[in-house]
Structure 1
């Protein structure tokens, strides 16, 4: 039986733009910058403003696609080790979110955990979220941050000292789609 949250019904969005934003945030994390660099924030805000309303929706959908792709990769990797993605990933990321109260207000943590769980069970995160109404402004920073946390989680789990492993997964997948 098909679910209304099946990924094949979901808009893909602008994955490349979303990946650029996430990659920029990851580089800031790995460069040891605490907080948000004002220049970087200005550039990202300017970049987002250049999209217009439709472009922001595309960026939002692209971010949800990244979450889905990251969770799909994790699911495959963890299943090879007889681990459950929900048990292994979601509690760790929720615990991290709880340690970041300025980014993740308590009321958005269940939504972010739900997005991760939806993606971890093979559902589209953006279609799952759409069931509960439109995105709110209060969810935008947490959505970006949970995507960064997820990418960083993958980088650590890869067992390599490669801070670009998660983003490279997406670049490789996009290149493969471009070839097909």
Structure 2
């Protein structure tokens, strides 16, 4: 008899747990749909590369960084996205669900471009910084090359003033 009582006491707790799991799955499915929209409402910062101005959206949080420029079909020429990390580290990027060809500039705390990587849309190839960096600036592919900006060049702007 005690075993049956234990079963009876346990069964009512299964239904609420099952309902919670169904609700969680529905919320996650809904989040997947929302994630397929490009993020265009992030805070912005003005950067400069010599005489060239950059209007960069800033991705600070893990979710913002994970979505990045995914699903964007176009981006103005002098616009980009600055990925800001809490600590310097070897940062690696890929282009899954990213429709635009981009160049990633891996940037040190002082604004120095450590290295650049051209990245093909919708690929999972890894593109990494050659040494630990806190920032990665993604721009339309060719933006840096057209302006003769290479590794060693120093960007300016609020994030790099320490």
TM-score, normalised relative to structure 2: 0.23
TM, length-normalised to structure 1: 0.21
| Structure having the higher Rg | 2
| Between structures 1 and 2, the one with greater strand share | 2
The structure that is helix-richer by fraction is 1
Higher relative contact order (CA 8 A, sep 6+): 1
